Structure formats: structure tokens, C-alpha cells
Amino acid sequence: MRRIFVRAVCGVLLFSWSAQAQEVAKTVFSEWKSKVDPSVERGLQFLARVQERNGSFPENYGTSTGIPSLVGMAFLSKGHMPTEGPYAGNINRCIDYVLKHQERNGLFVAGHAGSGPMYAHNISTLFLSEVSGMVDPERQKRIKEALSRALQLILRAQRVPKSPQHQGGWRYHPGSRDSDTSCSGWALMALRSAKLNGAAVPDRAIEAAVEYLYRHYDDRLGTFGYSNRTSHKESLTGMGLLCLELCGEHGKPATIKAGDFVLRNHRRLTNYQFEYYGNYYSAQGMFQLGGKYWETYANWMYKSYLPKQQQDGSWYSREAGRVYGTATMVLAFTVPYRQLPIYQRDETVDEE
């Protein structure tokens, strides 16, 4: 029912492609589908096989709530459900692990969360928002209660007094007085997903986050940076592009320039420090733009990363290991399936 609702409201809340852009997307994916489908399935089989009984995962950050949340979204991105199908148990274990590790103040925190817990918290909030409405009644009740607390924490963290440069964003701790665009991107997507799903997220919170992103946008280059306008631009421009696209900035000069930057520089992601992270965001952002942006990026991505899949079905990320690498690659590969509600697009408004 929720998927039908989401598809219905997307025409009002989100954006649109032209008929030509639709045709490009369909053509590109039809050319790769016979290779992508089995590759994604092998990736999901790997993730299911290595999941621990308690819902966590081995390797880097696997005991944080962030990795099970990314993996849960990877299963959802191929259309798998927590109520039926071969991966229902895996998805539910991801959900239960996240729910089990929420503190009284709303923070999702467990295991080793890297530099700080807000990064994993934001991803977990996004995951629970995306899976809300797809689960059994008992889990739905728990998710609803947990999401309310988690969203309030994100909103409180955004309101912490900060300098003008950092206002509207988030960093690694709920009380941080600075911000970075990477952590902020996940927080913004969590808020946008929750709002789309009917949560009482203030418009001003999303507006302030968009303003924060614009302060890290280089109008000359079309890039988004980490703590300024150019740092880590290869991996973060896709993030800025996607967030703006999902928040009502479709077709604005900044999104077009960002798409043009990715179009010119995406090959630099190969062997880049944050390669898999950058590919995930760039794929999502370029798909939102459609047309030549998605056609060029998709052909490069599938050609480059299909051969990098390991014999066990995984992709290895130098910064975070096999589970993270596989989850982010599956999420990038499955963009055309459009199963995650946050990435839905209405494709009729601009047809002529």
C-alpha cells in the first residue's frame, strides 16, 4: 500500500523527466540488464551469507547501525520485502539490530561507528523511514516510535548554535558545533524521506540544510566540497547534486553545473580514496538528471564495476571493506529499478 501511495504523491512532491530522458534511461538499462541482474543477485547473496545472527556484519563498521542499514536498503533496492521472499529474514534482522541499539535520546549507536555516531544514525533513520509501511504490525509500531525519536534528534542537532558557515548542517556528534557535507547529506535525505512518508518535518529544517549545501557549492566549477567548496569534490559533488534534486532544486543552474562536472570528471573516481561512496552518490544524482547525464554515467559505471565484482559476489572498498563496498555498489547498480521511495521520480509532468 505504501509503495502505491508513494508513487501517487511523487507527482506532487518530486520532479519529472522529459519523455526523451525516460527513453534514454530505459534504453541504457535494457542494454545492461542481462548482466546487471545476476551481478546484483550475487551481491545480495553475499550480503545475506555473511550477516551475523544478530543482524550485524563482519569487517569494517559492521557492528555499527550504519552498515546493517545500508545492507537493508540494498535488499529493498531490488524490490525484496521484509514480509516475504528469500531475503525477508535478512531485512528483518537489519531492522531489529538498528531498533535494538537506539538510546533513550533517540540516537542509534552500536559498535564502532568511526569518527562519531551521527553518520550511522542518519543512515539508520533513512533506512527505517524507507522500510516503514512494509513490515509486520509489531515491527511497524516499533519503527514508528523509534523514527519519531530519531528525527527529533536530527532536528535538535541541526539547531545547535553554530557559526554562519556551519548553520543548517550536521557533523559526527549530536552536539557538534561544526558541520560537514558528507554527514549532512545523509541527514538531509533522512529528513526528506520522512517528510515524504508523512512525518512532521518542518520545511525550514530542509530549507536550512539546502542553504548549508549551497554555501559549499562552487559556482565556477559546479562542485560541492566537504568543509569548503572544493575539498573531496570528486566524491561529494554527486552528493550535493542528489540532495538538491531531491529537495526541489531540479533543473536549477547548480544541479546542471554539478551534473556537467560529474560528466567531465567521473572517471577520476577510479581508485579514488572514497571511490565507492562517490559512485553511489554520482549514480543516484545522474539518474535524477537523466538524459545524457545518466546515459554516460551508467555506461561507464556498469562497464567499470561489473568486472570488479569478486568471485564471492562482493565488491571490495579500500576505505570500508567488502560489506560496505557491496551494499553501496548494489544501491548504485539498482537505481533504474526505482524501488526505494526516496529516489522515486514522477516522469509525466514535462512530457510534450
pLDDT at 247: 93
Angle between helices 253-265 and 291-305 (to 10 degrees): 30
Locate the domains of the chain by residue range.
2-343
| Secondary structure (DSSP) of 97-124 | HHHHTB-TTS-B--S--TT-HHHHHHHH
For each of the chain's 352 residues, which pLDDT tens digit applies?
444 333 333 333 333 445 555 555 566 767 889 999 999 999 999 999 999 999 999 988 999 999 999 999 999 999 999 999 999 999 999 999 999 999 999 999 997 766 789 999 999 999 999 999 999 999 999 999 999 999 999 999 999 999 999 999 999 999 999 999 999 999 999 999 999 999 999 999 999 999 999 999 999 999 999 988 988 999 999 999 999 999 999 889 999 999 999 999 999 999 888 999 999 999 999 999 999 999 999 999 999 999 999 999 999 998 899 999 999 999 999 998 888 887 765 443 233 2
- The pTM of this model reads 0.90
Architecture of domain 2-343: Alpha/alpha barrel (1.50)
Which residues share a beta bridge with 317? 321
Rounded Cα distance, 284 and 282, in Å: 5
Rounded Cα distance, 124 and 68, in Å: 8
Q: Please, what's the largest Cα pairwise distance for the chain?
A: 52
